[in-house]
Structure 1
Amino acid sequence: MHSMLVHDKRRVNFQTDSAQLVKMVSKPAEWPAFAILLEEVEKYKGMFQEFSLTHIPRTKNTKADKLARSARAQPQDVYYINSIPPASLPGPA
């Protein structure tokens, strides 16, 4: 969501193969364990002119499913890289 806003994309339709994610975003009060994360999603949602999140079953998106399966099959470790350092690490000097 942040990346879309940075690139001034204000009308978006995010699609996911996670039906639970769609439920969490649509009814955040029912997911208190994720309250902090869902509050952040709500904050970002308000910055879009149009926002939607839809569920796309993997069976309906075979290309993305194939890419996801091949990524999981890779023997290398996967590292998350972000331009914003975690709070536990000092920022760039």
Structure 2
Amino acid sequence: MGTRNFTRCESVLHSEVEALRWAIENMLQHSPCQNFRTDCKKLIAMVKEPQKWSSFATELEKIETLQICFPDFKITNVP
């Protein structure tokens, strides 16, 4: 939902990061949801250990800042 409004990203992984950021921002405005799910294992690894993904530093900083608003933030894998 809403991904049609994104500009083209460098890679599929960049698109996943942008989609997560968008979802978190929208949940802040519309829902108390604190659990996010994805089928992208690399995205979960990026969120859990952002320092290992230096090429995504800017994008991951935005997500880290948004996570502060969620005391029980969780991201899980959905196969």
Q: Which residue matches 2:46?
A: 24
Q: Which residue matches 1:5?
A: 28
Q: State the alpha-carbon separation in 2 of the partners of residues 19 and 8 from structure 1.
A: 25
Question: Percent same amino acid at aligned positions?
Answer: 38
Runs of 4+ in 1 over 4 A off after TM superposition: none
In structure 2, the gaps of 5 or more residues are 1-23
Secondary structure of residue in 2 paired with 1:54: strand
- Larger-Rg structure: 1
Higher relative contact order (CA 8 A, sep 6+): 2
Structure 1 residue 56, shift from structure 2 partner: 1.1
Return the structure number with greater helix share.
2
Q: How many residues align?
A: 56
Task: Give the TM-score taking structure 2 as reference length.
Answer: 0.67
Aligned-residue CA RMSD (Å): 1.0
Q: State the alpha-carbon separation in 2 of the partners of residues 14 and 56 from structure 1.
A: 10
- Residue correspondence of structure 1 range 3-82 to structure 2 within 5 A: 3-9=26-32, 11-57=33-79
In structure 1, the gaps of 5 or more residues are 58-93
